[in-house]
Structure 1
Amino acid sequence: MGIEVGIMTIFRGKTVDFALAGLCSVMLLAACGGGGSSSQSAPPPVSQPGGNVWTQGQFAAASQFKDLCAAPRSGSDLNGNAFSDRAGTLSDELFWLRSWSDETYLWYNEITDRNPNGFTDRLAYFDELKTTATTASGNPRDRFHFTYDSEDWLRLTTSGASASYGARFALVASSPPRDIRVAFIEPGSPAATAGLSRGMKVITVNGVDAVNGTDTNALNAGLFPDGGGETYAFEFQRLDGTRFTTSLTSAIVTADPVNAVSVLTQNGRRYGYIHFTTFSPRTAEEALFDAFDQLQAANIDDLVLDLRYNGGGLLAIASQLSYMVAGPDRTRGRNFETLQFNNKANGINPVTGNRITPTPFYSNGQNFTVASSRSAPSVSKPRVFVLTTGRTCSASEAVMNGLRGIDVDVIQIGERTCGKPYGFYATDNCGITYFTIQFRGVNDKNFGDYADGFAPGEAPSSLGDVMPGCQISDDFGHALGDTDEALFATAIAYAETGTCPAGTVPNRKIDGPADLAQTLGHTDPALDLTRDPRIQARELAETWDARE
């Protein structure tokens, strides 16, 4: 299927086509040589007992160290594939990380080459193998560098399910006094059974004050359970100010990719609305086809695509969604996205060995859950309203960028997106799955410079934030899809008048990096509370889309 495969996860030397509920971007690069960012002359070779020899700026092939493990696994993974681990040392694992990063990392020449034998922890060493450069707004250029336990990652990517209550929490204010809200509920989940609904505020978690409390470990544990069967007591505040307590028991929940779809008429115009939450091919492909069948049959005038909590997923699904928006005439002969690797690739995909070719706009099923013989429906619109927050990321941004590349008017309503034009191949070695940025994606006009996210309003092109639209904060006082909900109401007002209504910020020009930072903020609020590296990994995982 070409360059559409999204979570190409590298397990035990095999490239496995996984798809994941709102996660991962991918790639691997297989060249040798290069070096770190140090300009000093190389010191003499260094070795330690039981270690490999390190010479600064000289790199053996990563394949020389692959699957040599200090604690090799035996048996098979949950899919029945035998582990390829062999007896090795910590030094072997660290030297594999060093060479693999030099071969594959997008900014490999900005890594300081440190002696692996000076480290006793593979995760600590991996954290050193990234650039320290910043974006135009002052954000770290690489905010997407993390690891996952391979068994947990495989379970997540295979099923599209993860442990949760079925409630997506949003941090309106991440520092005390915190404001933690229920953003939406998965149908049939423990949260739905408990009567939770959008906008409810978390007051306590197992007796810990969620608003002003300092025990963030306890809050993390309760808000983000590790597995199914974990029970925590919560106190919530309803929108009317009343409070209630309930116990929530986590379960393995599969996200419903189309959380809501509706057609409504207002002032003589028919609006199609779809709240799309994940680009997972395990669930999203058929759900999108069915939703757009409904929207196409309704002959809508405008489409409102709600991506405000969609952290990403498979690029092939993003391409299909974009085709369903734009239709056959606008997409014919055009490219959805092209991957750009580091300068060692020379036009060859280092994982597949094939020449790098653009991802087209897919106009049919890709055999995830929809057969390739089924043509995709389309509303064929020249413009689309996209509702966004800081949790709109990766494949969601690729949809916005891909549609702009073929001159579809993308009107952004809401808040700045997360800013992730990059991707990687999730790669297992010795029980840890590593994620390191290995490419970026560009649209049909060769644009992919949005590391500071897309902001609704005109911004300097050097910052990459160039979407027309209206800045407005998320509205937790109304249900998603309600025409009185602020973002949806703003989209309708803009469709009718061509301007942003009062109370929003229409097309305000941002005057520079400091202004951008002050106006839109630097951080993903979900990370401000979650300091535990395990929780950070899970939260970061929701921002990855699968790209190859």
Structure 2
Amino acid sequence: MSSQKLLMFRSRAILMCTLGLFLVGCGGGSGGQDNSASARPPTSRELAQICTKDSPYAAKSSKPSQQGELADEKKWVKAYMSERYLWYKDIPNINENDSRYNVLKGGVIDVWNSLLNYFNDSKTPLKTAIGTLVDKFSFIIDSTEWNNFVESSLRGYGFMLKTSTQAGQKVLTLAYVYPNSPAKNAGLARGDQIISIDGASVNDTSAEATSIFNEGLRPTKVAPHQFQILRAGQTLNVTMQAEVITLQQVEYKVLNVGSQKIGYLLFNSHVPGAEAYLIQAMTYFKQQAISDLVVDLRYNGGGYLAIANALAYSVAGREKAQGKVFEWTQFSDKRSSENYAMYFNSFGLNNQAYPSLGLAKIYVLASSGTCSASESFINGLRGIDVQVELIGGTTCGKPYGFYPQDNCGITYGAMEMEGVNAKFEGRFSDGMTPQCTVLDDLSRPLGDASEGMLSVAIKRMQGQSCSQAAGLAIGSQDLLGMGLRDQGVLLRPDWQNNKFLQAKP
């Protein structure tokens, strides 16, 4: 296989047409009749973009389409899953005429819920060793929303939330506030708790209050909303209006701890807009001649594998990474000819070079929100003997990836491949276990040397054991009684926890 083909990930395409070799039916001609076209089922390529009449999703799609019926879109889904799904052998037999896949709302076909049910019921029922579903990641999403996610552009306030329960009450806490966002400009900070929105309490489950609260949290209309915030026992009233914003997914700094110069990289999503910041960060770390590096991936649900590759190359350096496999990509047995090795590459998604740091060991802050491409970053480095010590919690466990496929204005993400590192290590479907278990410390800003996970990482650099380091962090008097030793769940759609590949040229 040529190096040009192996480095195909430099292409910039976001969406792709269906891959593979497709049979083309022959027309009439001299000689015997060829019945191959009629003898086989039509391919997803042949069935693509035949859309349900009056579908609101097809109407918004930029792709040319022709009018069809809901049954046509289901035929495409069936063909797509059969051709591309990693667990195609385990697809259940379902009756596409069942009412569950022909949902009516007000006498009109509900395209979204019909296709969502059909897609979800087509996934494998297999479970992992600990009893969770093997495929808890395949998804469908409105293509407009998908494209906005890839571009880190959305209408919102610019914060991440975690949800938990304390004394039987729901608690909604800000885990992270993006720079230059409405939330940041309003003075909100990590650890703030949302008590109510527009007078509707987070714990009022009545239909009216729930509707008011949800509209304020994820607005569908342009209007200011009143937030009541709890901060360190004090109640604050804040007015915000959601805006269309581009999220800055990277922050970085150098911590001077004694004689150590520690690079701290907060990285929240492997999306194209993050690359310029990543290159700036790694360039700055090299200029500052850092002795150690902490990469904070606790909230990074994944994204483009090419970005994880380039960042890993930057960490390991040219001498250790050049010519080595970052990840072996393995498809189902019917697509084994498409298996390939993704080599370490200093050029990322946007074909910009990352600097070479040449570090022998790094510390990664992780949690159940660390998924997919983030796990590939960790696994890829371990494959070439760069030590990666995990601090925090067990990762989400997603060694799978996909090529996003648009059909009729809906993007489909069925898992197509599994990745392993240069040593053929992977298959971490139950997650990667940390060397030091530390809870998310919402009482401190991310990047603060006293924040729980980062504090433990620094103490580990200084030679302390996990129990010593974690014990000192948890015993800190100014953290006691604040209720912020968080065991909450990151409030993020499951479909954002993914690893996606670039289109082949």
Q: So what's the TM-score if we normalise by structure 1? A: 0.76
> Aligned partners of 1:233 and 1:77: how far apart in 2?
35
In the TM superposition, what whole-angstrom CA distance separates every residue of 1:113-147 from its partner, at most 9, and x where no partner exists? 22323331222211211011111111111111221
Distance 1:75 1:295, change over 3 A: closer
Q: Are 1:30 and 1:104, in contact at CA under 8 Å, matched by a contact in 2? A: no
Which fold has the larger relative contact order, with Cα–Cα distance below 8 Å and residues 6 or more apart in sequence?
Answer: 1
Instruction: Name the SS for the 1:344 alignment partner.
Output: helix
> Aligned partners of 1:185 and 1:73: how far apart in 2?
36
- Map of 1:64 onto structure 2: 46
Query: Is residue 2:460 matched to residue 1:494?
Result: yes
Q: Are 2:52 and 2:69, in contact at CA under 8 Å, matched by a contact in 1? A: yes
Name which of 425, 432, 447 aligns with 1:481: 447
- Map of 1:24 onto structure 2: none
In the TM superposition, what whole-angstrom CA distance separates every residue of 1:307-363 from its partner, at most 9, and x where no partner exists? 111111211111111011111111122111121111111322xxxxxxx43222222
Name which of 5, 9, 14 aligns with 1:4: 9
Q: Are 1:172 and 1:525, in contact at CA under 8 Å, matched by a contact in 2? A: yes
> Aligned partners of 1:268 and 1:380: how far apart in 2?
20
Distance 1:273 1:179, change over 3 A: same
Instruction: Name the SS for the 1:233 alignment partner.
Output: strand
Instruction: Name the SS for the 2:160 alignment partner.
Output: strand
Name which of 389, 403, 426 aligns with 2:381: 403
Q: Are 2:10 and 2:347, in contact at CA under 8 Å, matched by a contact in 1? A: no
- Unpaired runs of 5+ residues, structure 1, are 16-26, 33-57, 349-355, 457-468, 507-519, 528-537
> Aligned partners of 1:114 and 1:403: how far apart in 2?
42
Larger radius of gyration: 2
TM-aligned CA deviation for residue 62 of structure 1: 2.5
Query: Is residue 2:371 matched to residue 1:393?
Result: yes
- Map of 2:393 onto structure 1: 415
Q: Are 1:164 and 1:224, in contact at CA under 8 Å, matched by a contact in 2? A: yes
Query: Is residue 2:138 matched to residue 1:145?
Result: yes
> Aligned partners of 1:204 and 1:226: how far apart in 2?
18
Name which of 396, 402, 406 aligns with 1:428: 406
TM-aligned CA deviation for residue 175 of structure 1: 9.6
TM-aligned CA deviation for residue 496 of structure 1: 0.8
Q: Are 1:110 and 1:131, in contact at CA under 8 Å, matched by a contact in 2? A: yes
**Structure 1 segment 487-526 matched on structure 2, within 5 A:** 487-502=453-468, 504=470, 525-526=489-490
Name which of 256, 266, 282 aligns with 1:275: 266
Instruction: Name the SS for the 1:545 alignment partner.
Output: strand
Instruction: Name the SS for the 2:334 alignment partner.
Output: coil
**Structure 1 segment 104-119 matched on structure 2, within 5 A:** 104-118=84-98, 119=101
Name which of 314, 318, 322 aligns with 1:324: 314
Query: Is residue 2:230 matched to residue 1:244?
Result: no
> Aligned partners of 1:188 and 1:214: how far apart in 2?
34
> Aligned partners of 1:366 and 1:316: how far apart in 2?
6
In the TM superposition, what whole-angstrom CA distance separates every residue of 1:461-492 from its partner, at most 9, and x where no partner exists? xxxxxxxx200100011111111111111001
> Aligned partners of 1:357 and 1:404: how far apart in 2?
19
Name which of 64, 81, 85 aligns with 2:65: 85
Judging by fraction of residues, say which structure has more strand: 2
Opposite residue 485 of structure 1, the aligned amino acid is E
Query: Is residue 2:245 matched to residue 1:253?
Result: yes
Q: Are 2:174 and 2:192, in contact at CA under 8 Å, matched by a contact in 1? A: yes
Q: Are 2:309 and 2:348, in contact at CA under 8 Å, matched by a contact in 1? A: no
Q: Are 2:50 and 2:67, in contact at CA under 8 Å, matched by a contact in 1? A: yes
Q: Are 1:230 and 1:249, in contact at CA under 8 Å, matched by a contact in 2? A: yes
Q: Are 1:471 and 1:505, in contact at CA under 8 Å, matched by a contact in 2? A: no
In the TM superposition, what whole-angstrom CA distance separates every residue of 1:92-131 from its partner, at most 9, and x where no partner exists? 1111111211111100111112232333122221121101
**Structure 1 segment 121-270 matched on structure 2, within 5 A:** 121-157=114-150, 159-173=151-165, 176-211=168-203, 213=205, 219-226=213-220, 229-238=222-231, 240-259=232-251, 261-270=252-261
- Map of 1:379 onto structure 2: 357
TM-aligned CA deviation for residue 220 of structure 1: 4.2
> Aligned partners of 1:305 and 1:165: how far apart in 2?
25
Distance 1:475 1:70, change over 3 A: same
In the TM superposition, what whole-angstrom CA distance separates every residue of 1:523-547 from its partner, at most 9, and x where no partner exists? x9346xxxxxxxxxx7123212322
> Aligned partners of 1:501 and 1:115: how far apart in 2?
55
Q: Are 2:313 and 2:344, in contact at CA under 8 Å, matched by a contact in 1? A: yes
The range that moved more, 142-151 or 112-121, is: 112-121
> Aligned partners of 2:349 and 2:343: how far apart in 1?
12
Q: Are 1:68 and 1:87, in contact at CA under 8 Å, matched by a contact in 2? A: yes
Q: Are 2:163 and 2:172, in contact at CA under 8 Å, matched by a contact in 1? A: yes
Q: So what's the TM-score if we normalise by structure 2? A: 0.82
- Map of 1:39 onto structure 2: none
Q: Are 2:12 and 2:349, in contact at CA under 8 Å, matched by a contact in 1? A: no
- Map of 1:298 onto structure 2: 288
Instruction: Name the SS for the 1:393 alignment partner.
Output: coil
- Map of 1:364 onto structure 2: 347
> Aligned partners of 2:426 and 2:410: how far apart in 1?
30
Q: Are 2:48 and 2:407, in contact at CA under 8 Å, matched by a contact in 1? A: yes
The range that moved more, 176-185 or 160-169, is: 176-185
> Aligned partners of 2:447 and 2:285: how far apart in 1?
14
**Structure 1 segment 87-102 matched on structure 2, within 5 A:** 87-102=67-82
> Aligned partners of 1:246 and 1:433: how far apart in 2?
36
Opposite residue 62 of structure 1, the aligned amino acid is S
Instruction: Name the SS for the 1:178 alignment partner.
Output: strand
Q: Are 1:472 and 1:505, in contact at CA under 8 Å, matched by a contact in 2? A: no
- Map of 1:463 onto structure 2: none
In the TM superposition, what whole-angstrom CA distance separates every residue of 1:12-39 from its partner, at most 9, and x where no partner exists? xx54xxxxxxxxxxx856679xxxxxxx
TM-aligned CA deviation for residue 181 of structure 1: 1.4
Instruction: Name the SS for the 1:411 alignment partner.
Output: strand
Opposite residue 70 of structure 2, the aligned amino acid is L
Query: Is residue 2:458 matched to residue 1:540?
Result: no
> Aligned partners of 2:149 and 2:348: how far apart in 1?
23
Opposite residue 268 of structure 1, the aligned amino acid is S
TM-aligned CA deviation for residue 265 of structure 1: 2.2
- Map of 1:530 onto structure 2: none
> Aligned partners of 1:133 and 1:70: how far apart in 2?
32
> Aligned partners of 2:167 and 2:216: how far apart in 1?
17
Residue-pair matches, total? 454
